[in-house]
Structure 1
């Protein structure tokens, strides 16, 4: 797709088809919910989705946190490194299917994170740690699902992909303003400054999904829009329909 340059940011021309650049970490349930919503929208609207890696482990690498949380976050490196390696070896078109294969085995009703949804406040940390121990097997199975070489799973422990992840982060557009990455999901609509979110607690479908898309598109492409937040506590993510 051709683009035009405006203020240092690449904007897609108005061709009747919208383009969403979507940054994700495979292990993030919030990103998974939003990704399933945007794929639902793409089935009913002229919408092209381009998938990009964003590493929560990298984003939080300089943050202070408990040792237990640090160990858990360190486990986030593996799957997103494999995605970066797959892109490098097999091209951009494999990223979306690989993310779907990973997410389905992580967040779907029978995914490895299913026990976490039923964990209590007292048991959550232990249950989550046990679930995270299964990510290696998930990566191997997801590679098989999409016909990618099994040896890509070995890239989970390789730091050589971390520079590629930094480069992916750097491509998040900011309309020439200082870039401040918050987390995933991060979306850019038609090359405009990216938004953190929308953060959804469940997967919208049908007309509801399209109404939410229309609202997001209106805000995200308006040059005066900056931020929208809700003043409540965050609910638990419902990653299954």
Structure 2
């Protein structure tokens, strides 16, 4: 908790299509229950991140991130929600959309987005932004803000939190499955902040032996 008694803000950048960001986001909601933090949701884009690498990517993935590809609809709608309805609405949309994309395996289709908008209590006509570049400038700015904090060689999610000196600590991940709950969620949060606060610390990693476990 900050010195004025307010909850500590935690900025979280996500692309709705990323299953690992989804896992981490569900963990952050658990952390909110056991630590005095408040998550602020921001959009980043795997399409923007990889648009300069299209020729190096598998064809199906490359097709999704090209202009008009499937990777653009969810982030465009989420950005429109951010601009028109604010942070809290983005969090509600992400929960509804991520549940459809990942837990229910419906993908980031327009049907999934429309259903998520309805569940989040947002206007149905926001679905039109899935095919519009109206807020692409804001989308790219949000993406750049997050990725600039950690560097170009990572993906989503990006988390930033105030450090002891008032400056933000930012890092990619953690990558974890399933999303820890209760005291396990708190332990991972405390440990992540501990290593992230060490000057010169960059990476800890081991081979993934299982895919995302959606609960």
1:205 matched residue in structure 2: 181
1:189 matched residue in structure 2: 161
Instruction: Name the SS for the 1:228 alignment partner.
Output: coil
- Structure 1, unmatched stretches of 5+, are 1-11, 114-130
Number of aligned residue pairs: 205
In the alignment, the residues of structure 2 paired with residue 184 and residue 196 of structure 1 have an alpha-carbon distance, to the nearest angstrom, of 7
1:78 matched residue in structure 2: 73
1:156 matched residue in structure 2: 130
Q: CA offsets per residue over residues 195-226 of structure 1, 9 Å max, x none?
A: 11001121111111111011012223x25143
Question: Is 1:69 paired with 2:61?
Answer: yes
Alpha-carbon RMSD: 2.2
Q: CA deviation at 1:170?
A: 2.5
Report which of the two structures shows the higher radius of gyration computed on alpha carbons.
1
Q: Is the 8 A contact 1:36 1:203 kept in 2?
A: yes
TM value normalised by structure 1: 0.77
Aligned partner (choices 148, 169, 175) of residue 143 of structure 2: 169
In the alignment, the residues of structure 2 paired with residue 232 and residue 101 of structure 1 have an alpha-carbon distance, to the nearest angstrom, of 30
Judging changes above 3 Å, is the alpha-carbon distance between structure 1 residues 174 and 234 closer, same or farther for their aligned structure 2 residues?
Answer: farther
In the alignment, the residues of structure 1 paired with residue 2 and residue 34 of structure 2 have an alpha-carbon distance, to the nearest angstrom, of 21
Q: Is the 8 A contact 2:34 2:183 kept in 1?
A: no
Q: Is the 8 A contact 2:76 2:135 kept in 1?
A: yes
2:27 matched residue in structure 1: 37
TM value normalised by structure 2: 0.86
Kindly report which structure 2 residues correspond to 1:79-98, keeping only aligned pairs within 5 A, or say none: 79-98=74-93
In the alignment, the residues of structure 2 paired with residue 41 and residue 65 of structure 1 have an alpha-carbon distance, to the nearest angstrom, of 35
Instruction: Name the SS for the 1:169 alignment partner.
Output: helix
Q: CA offsets per residue over residues 40-61 of structure 1, 9 Å max, x none?
A: 1101211111000011111111
In the alignment, the residues of structure 1 paired with residue 11 and residue 109 of structure 2 have an alpha-carbon distance, to the nearest angstrom, of 26
In the alignment, the residues of structure 1 paired with residue 73 and residue 99 of structure 2 have an alpha-carbon distance, to the nearest angstrom, of 17
| Stretch deviating more after TM superposition (44-53 or 164-173) | 164-173
